[in-house]
Amino acid sequence: MGSGKILCTILSLFSQFMAAFSNLQQNENPSMGFHGGEKGTGSSLLSEVVQLHIQKDYVVLDNGILQVTLSNPGGHVTGIQYNGLENLLETDNGESDRGYWDVVWSGEGVTRKKGNLDRLDGTNLTVVVESEEKVEISFTRMWNSSLQAKVVPLNFDKRYVMLRGSSGFYTYAIYEHLRGWPAFDLDNTRIVFKLTRQKFRYMAIADNRQRYMPLPEDRSPERGQTLAYPEAVLLVHPVEPEFEGEVDDKYAYSCESKDISVHGWISADPLVGFWQITPSHEFRTGGPLKQFLTSHVGPTNLGVMHSTHYAGADVTIKIGPNEPWKKVYGPVFAYVNSLSDGRDPLSLWKDAKKQMMNEVHKWPYDFIASEDFPPSKQRGSVGGRLLVLERYVSNATISAEGAYVGLAAPGEAGSWQLESKGYQFWTKTDEGGNFTINGIRPGDYNLYAWVPGFIGDYKFTSVININSGSNIDIGDLVYEAPRNGSTLWEIGFPDRSAAEFYIPDANPKYINKLYLKQERYRQYGLWERYAELYPKADLVFTVGKSNHTTDWFFAQVTRKKDNTTYEGTTWQIKFLLDEVDERAAYKLRMALATANVAELEVRVNEPNANPVFSTGEIGKDNTIARHGIHGLYRLFNVDIPGAQLLIGNNTIFLTQTASISPFQGVMYDYIRLEGPPPPHKAL
């Protein structure tokens, strides 16, 4: 013990010296003035070795650049010391409320409506690797039946990895459920970092989505007014007057999974950035378009790996009593960078993006110790070319440019949207429709795709088995888009989003300044604007006269009747037909971008007749309240008997009947009416 302590002191003196030295070195580089990035390769003489200090209640990882303190054996991040800041995390918060993994779950006998929150307190620390180049430690909790219903029935293993010369640390978690254990539902899992309130004020989640943020106390009842749901708060008396009249709502900062690779916060004094980098999205639920929270007032930085947001209960991970299940979430990289005084703080964001690219190039990491994380050489790849056949556009196949192609668990076409237990691997095709997906974990998959500009979902017929080192060339794949006849008319563009439709200006009482000129659908309260724009009669769209960018409201929402009741709405599409084959079937292709506890009925020419089609109750996406412009994609193919159509003026009535709340309704992606198939032509 005694000599260990002395050694510690010497090492700590050495580390202070080295830190000073390395600062000096970096400050001598006038072009950047950065502290961050990689210092290992080439200059490892300059970088300190990684050290692990284990105390009774704490563990410290230290590579001379930053010191990360974790509770022992809980495995929560309690401190990140960096660049003269004692702690980047908020020390007013308890030690298990600064940097932590958690799950929201429910099981038999767990009655709380929102499920149980389990902060995954570890019970055992294991040192997995301890060398000069790398330290990896593990905090586990093994489930047993005496814990029944008190904690989630999972073994978990939370890992933290620090490398020599690296300006940050990695974390990942392995969850495992064994046969015979209780069934449970997993609604949400994530890693959370809560940063110092007074320091981290500027948030950046994308090049065009960054701003100086309000303080958390601005949301308190004394300073803010809760709006239609607790997450949305109107800032009435914020500490800084510049935020007065703005709405703060974490859902305004949601992002599609494909775009969540780096996001975080900047402190102006000292100039320090804290970033979460996600080099791969393989472990996230629901494919590339699934939306997740990112960062929000707190200052909070989230890594949400699984959630039901913008999709609903259908994506919940449901584990049966006899179902073995294991999944690795992460690794993600917590990256810190800094700048000398007087530099442009936004260079920290640019540097974080550069670091993100470095991490992407290193993926799949080769320094992860768990056998459950296969390194590159144990993974496989699939390549090919996707073509589209749309005979009413061209008799030849055309390249599927900009298509999303991915591998996910075997299922129906489009099932990847709801898939949450396994891993998904996605890419986009180039202008020739070519694609290559690398770094695929061994396993059985279906290959799925969808193509902007075309409706529906593609699935390759055979299951694809990926083995260690597989390198599969699947050749040409042809997606035959749903189509029965020529286009009589269409509304919108088929890309699974309602962004091309009319987005109203926000109510001036409820503004987020970030979205005045861009992504205007992210403003709070747009659902109320419908009844203001259409106070007496519902929307009518006349084919040939109306324009979907100005005349098709982005969401078919309910109409407020009085202070507490709402009513459904009926939209009309008016169109002219010069001829009608009354014995033929016409086809209405109705692609929805989202639905929330809605029921959509279709009538033709007779507003009071029985509907020719009803969706039944669909959707729990909750996209309208959460300012997403899409949730889950749903395609309905509705037969319209020719006998119901008229030569001359026709009207299709779209009635959304569900009307208990302002957040019920649908967003359309695209609607098309197809004429009858040519009777005798073999197409």
Ligand X SMILES: *[C@@H]1O[C@H](CO)[C@@H](O)[C@H](O)[C@H]1NC(C)=O
Q: Where on the chain is the footprint of ligand X (CB under 6 A)?
A: 123-124, 126, 140, 142, 144, 146-147, 385, 394-395, 430-432, 434, 482-484, 547, 549-550, 562-563, 648-649, 677
Nearest alpha-carbon partner for 294 in 256, 345, 329, 268: 256
d(C-alpha 356, C-alpha 333), whole Å = 9
Q: How far is the CB of 372 from ligand X (least distance, A)?
A: 16
Q: In a 3-state reduction of DSSP, which class is residue 354?
A: helix
By C-beta, is 354 or 560 nearer to ligand X? Answer: 560
Q: Which amino acid is at 251?
A: Y
Q: How far is the CB of 402 from ligand X (least distance, A)?
A: 12
By C-beta, is 113 or 680 nearer to ligand X? Answer: 680
Q: How far is the CB of 375 from ligand X (least distance, A)?
A: 23
158 sits in which H/E element: strand 155-163
By C-beta, is 37 or 384 nearer to ligand X? Answer: 384
By C-beta, is 550 or 610 nearer to ligand X? Answer: 550
Q: How far is the CB of 583 from ligand X (least distance, A)?
A: 13
By C-beta, is 38 or 480 nearer to ligand X? Answer: 480
By C-beta, is 342 or 648 nearer to ligand X? Answer: 648
d(C-alpha 536, C-alpha 14), whole Å = 76
Q: How far is the CB of 432 from ligand X (least distance, A)?
A: 3
Q: How far is the CB of 73 from ligand X (least distance, A)?
A: 8
d(C-alpha 400, C-alpha 5), whole Å = 64
By C-beta, is 3 or 395 nearer to ligand X? Answer: 395
By C-beta, is 125 or 346 nearer to ligand X? Answer: 125
Q: How far is the CB of 273 from ligand X (least distance, A)?
A: 35
By C-beta, is 138 or 615 nearer to ligand X? Answer: 138
Nearest position to ligand X, beta carbon: 432
Nearest alpha-carbon partner for 316 in 113, 154, 150, 104: 104
Contact 427, 287 (CB under 8 A): no
Q: Which amino acid is at 206?
A: A
d(C-alpha 80, C-alpha 88), whole Å = 5
Q: State CA 606 to chain mean position distance.
A: 42
By C-beta, is 220 or 549 nearer to ligand X? Answer: 549
Q: How far is the CB of 674 from ligand X (least distance, A)?
A: 9
| Count of C-beta atoms within a 10 Å radius of residue 515 | 18
Beta strands in 164-287 (DSSP E): 168-177, 184-194, 200-206, 209-212, 224-226, 233-235, 247-248, 255-256, 262-268, 271-277
By C-beta, is 306 or 483 nearer to ligand X? Answer: 483
Which residues are CB-contacts of 106 (< 8 A; sequence separation ≥ 6)? 112, 115, 116, 184, 185, 187
DSSP character for 18? H
Q: How far is the CB of 589 from ligand X (least distance, A)?
A: 9
By C-beta, is 137 or 213 nearer to ligand X? Answer: 137
By C-beta, is 462 or 549 nearer to ligand X? Answer: 549
Which residues are CB-contacts of 549 (< 8 A; sequence separation ≥ 6)? 500, 501, 502
Q: How far is the CB of 434 from ligand X (least distance, A)?
A: 4
Q: How far is the CB of 587 from ligand X (least distance, A)?
A: 7
By C-beta, is 140 or 261 nearer to ligand X? Answer: 140
Q: How far is the CB of 474 from ligand X (least distance, A)?
A: 11
Contact 421, 463 (CB under 8 A): no
What tokens appear for 479 in the block?
């997606």
Q: How far is the CB of 126 from ligand X (least distance, A)?
A: 4
Buried/exposed code over 560-594 (b: 16+ C-beta within 10 A; e: otherwise):
beeeeebebbbbbbebebeebeeebebbbbbbbbb
The residues that bridge with 129 in the sheet, in sequence order, are 136
Contact 184, 330 (CB under 8 A): no
Q: How far is the CB of 12 from ligand X (least distance, A)?
A: 26
Q: How far is the CB of 140 from ligand X (least distance, A)?
A: 6
Q: How far is the CB of 482 from ligand X (least distance, A)?
A: 3
By C-beta, is 138 or 276 nearer to ligand X? Answer: 138
By C-beta, is 85 or 635 nearer to ligand X? Answer: 635
Nearest alpha-carbon partner for 533 in 478, 481, 571: 571
Q: State CA 180 to chain mean position distance.
A: 32
Residue identified by tokens 């001379």 is: 64
Q: State CA 328 to chain mean position distance.
A: 17
Burial class (CB in 10 A: 0-12, 13-18, 19+), 250: middle
Nearest alpha-carbon partner for 99 in 54, 61, 56, 154: 61
Pairing between strand 224-226 and 613-614? unpaired
Nearest alpha-carbon partner for 290 in 11, 17, 633, 45: 633
| Count of C-beta atoms within a 10 Å radius of residue 102 | 17
